[in-house]
Amino acid sequence: MKFNNNFDLTSGDQQKLVELKNLRKLITWEIEKNRHEFLSHVDSYIDGSETNPNLRDIFQDEEVERLLFDSVNCIHNGDDKGARFIEFVYRTGYKDKPKVDENDEPSLHRTTPIHHVVRHKNSNLFNNCSVHDLFKIYDRYDVNYIDELGYTHFYVACKYGLNDVVKKYLEFGQDANCFMTETCDGPLHVAMGVPEGNQNQVVKLLLRNDANPNLANAEGSTPLHILCENPYDQHELAEVFFKITNEKHQIVQVDALDKFGKTPLHYAMANGNKMQIVRVLLRNGAEPNVASNDGSTPLHIFCARGDDDDNLTKIFLGISDELRRPVQLDTQDKEGNTPLHLTLHHNFPRKKVAELLLKRGADLNVINNDGSTPLHIICKRGNDAEFLVKMLFEIKEEKRLQIQVNTEDKQGRTPLHWAVARFLPNVVNILLYNGADLSSFVFPALSHFDEGFKD
C-alpha cells in the first residue's frame, strides 16, 4: 500500500500525533520498502515535535523493534534518519520488555537491533551515541542477549567503548572472560581491537574485574596481539594495559605466540604508526629476537615493509641495546634471508634502513637459499644499485669489513654477472675496482638478460 503524500506532519503536535497514528495504519509490515517510507515520514514528525508520545499507544512492541532493525540498516547504508529514529524512541522513554520463557525468565537467546550493529561490514558508520541510545532502550543489564552468530550485548558494549554500559553488566555479574564469538575473542580482545569510544576506561574496567590479560582466542592471539595488529596508534591504551596489570601483579605473556608463531612485537613492527607501542612492549619485557613459524624476527617483518623510514629501526635497536637485549641482525628466515636481504629486495630499496643495518654490523656475506648475498640482490634488482653499491663499499672501508665479491649464487652467477645483465656499467666498474674476477667471467646468455629484466 502506498502512503498518501498529503499527510501533514508539520502541523501542531497533537495533529501530528493523529497523523502518525493514521500513517501507522497504512504500513504493510512485511514489506521493507513500505517501512522505510514510513520512517521517512516519521522523520519529519521527529524534526519538529516538542512532545514525546507514548509509543505503545501507537505501535505494538514487535512493530517498534522492526522499525529499530530498519533504522540500524539505514545507518549502515549511510542514511541519518535511522539514528534520528533511534534517538526519538529513546526520548519517548520507550523500554524494551524482555521475552520470557515458560518459567517466566528472560530468554537469553534473542536477536535484537543491538546485535545487528556489528553484523555489517560498515559497522564503523555507527556512532557511539546511536549505540548508546539503543542500550537505553534495551536496558536489562542482568540479561546478556546472545544471537545465533554468538554476538552478545556485552560484546557490542565493549566494541563501542560504552564504559557505563560495560560497568553495569559487570555489576550484574557478567564474566569478564567470557568467549564472545566463534573466534573465541574475549571482552579484552574486543575492547583493544577498535579505536571507537572510551576504550581506555573499558580496558581498565575489564582488567580490574579480573579479565585475563593472556587469554588466547581461536587464532592464538592475546589482547596484546589484537592491539598491535590493528592499524591504529593506541600506545596510551598499551600503557594503561601494562599499568593495571602491574598494579594487580599479573604477569603478562608479552612474547605469547599466535598460530603463526608471531608475538605482539612482530605485529607492532609491521605497522608504520606503532613506534610508541614498540617502545612500550620493549620496556615491558618483549624479546626482540623471537622467530615466527617462517623464521621471521620482528626485524625481518620491519625490513619487509616498503617504506624507508629508519626512525623505528633506530628506536628498536636503541632500546634493545639499552635493555641489554641486543637485536641479532643476521638471523636467517626459512628462505635464508637476513633483514638486510629483505631491505634490499624491494623495487625501491630502503636505503636509510640498509645503511643503518650495515653501520650496525650486518654481515655482508650471508647467502640465502638461492645462494644470493646482499650484493647479489643489489645488482639483480637494478634500482638504485649504483648508490647502494657505493654505500656498501664505503661502509666496508669505514668498518674494515670483508666483502666476498665473487660469490656465485645457485645459478652460478656472481654480482658482476647480474650487473652486466642489468646494464649497470658504473656498478660493473665499482665491482671490478673492488676485486671482481674478470678472468673467469663468462658473458651472460641472452636469456640471462631477459631474466634480469623480469626480476
Q: What is the CATH number of the domain that holds 451?
A: 1.25.40.20
- Copy the grid coordinates of residue 152: 552478545
Closest CA to 265 of 253, 273, 251, 277: 277
pLDDT of 103 over the 90 cut: no
Report if residue 351 sits inside a domain.
Answer: no
In this structure, is residue 37 part of a structural domain?
yes
The domain tally of the chain equals 2
Q: Is residue 156 part of a domain?
A: no
Residue 209 lies in a domain: no
Which pLDDT value is given to residue 348? 73
Q: Is residue 25 part of a domain?
A: yes
Residue range of the domain that includes 399: 364-455
| Final residue in a domain of this structure, among 103, 129, 151 | 151
Domain membership of residue 430 (yes or no) is yes
Q: Average pLDDT of 253-274? A: 95
Residue 451 has pLDDT above 90, yes or no: no
Of 151, 170, 191, which one is at a domain's C-terminal end? 151
Task: Report the range out of 38-47, 213-222, 223-232 with the highest average pLDDT.
Answer: 213-222
Examine residue 250 and state whether it is found in any structural domain, yes or no.
no
Answer yes or no: is 321 within a domain.
Answer: no
Residue 6, pLDDT score? 47
User: CA-CA-CA-CA torsion for 287, 289, 293, 299, nearest 10 degrees?
Assistant: 110
CA proximity to 358, closest of 313, 320, 324, 325:
313
Residue that terminates a domain, selected from 151, 171, 198: 151
Segment 294-304 shows an average pLDDT of 96
Give the end-to-end CA distance of the chain in Å, rounded to a whole number. 65
* Residue 266 grid coordinates: 612482530
